[in-house]
């Protein structure tokens, strides 16, 4: 695979109640705003919301499976949570190469956008691309 600065990749993920419940089970994060509709109705969100790190984990799925792909090593990820994500939302993950470091690592702009075109999570990731990746400067 060849990778250069400004290369982009996108992939969509539907958010389901089962995902949220599974994430809560795996992580132990049982905050009622994620799991209890009656509780969530009394919050500023008015409905259950997804865990922010569930949405962030979609970035990991893209990086490890699609772009740069299988064998990628995650070094760091910054995340800023901008808007809530609700059950039934369709989240599109956008990844763009913004730097190739002297170590041949990639710095990636990461953005998660809902079906209304609104950014819900933004940040940057640093990764070591899979062996055999050809980096073009």
What's the farthest any 2 CA atoms get from each other in the chain?
A: 53
**What is the model's pTM?**
0.95
pLDDT < 70 positions in the chain: none
Q: What is the pLDDT of residues 9-24, one digit of tens each?
A: 999 999 999 999 999 9
Domain borders along the chain are 2-136
Q: Write the CATH number of the domain with boundaries 2-136.
A: 3.10.129.10
pLDDT, position 116: 98
pLDDT, position 32: 98
């Amino acid at each position: 695979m060849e990778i250069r600065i400004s290369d982009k990749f996108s992939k969509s993920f539907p958010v389901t109640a089962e995902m949220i419940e599974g994430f809560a089970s795996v992580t132990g994060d049982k905050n009622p705003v994620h799991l209890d509709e009656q509780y969530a109705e009394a919050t500023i969100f008015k409905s259950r919301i997804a865990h922010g790190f569930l949405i962030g984990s979609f970035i990991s799925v893209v990086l490890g499976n699609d772009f740069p792909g299988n064998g990628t090593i995650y070094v760091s990820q910054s995340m800023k949570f901008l808007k809530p994500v609700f059950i039934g939302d369709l989240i599109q993950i956008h990844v763009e190469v913004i730097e190739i470091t002297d170590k041949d690592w990639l710095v990636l702009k990461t953005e998660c956008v809902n079906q209304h075109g609104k950014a819900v999570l933004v940040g940057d990731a640093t990764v070591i691309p899979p062996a055999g990746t050809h980096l073009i400067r």
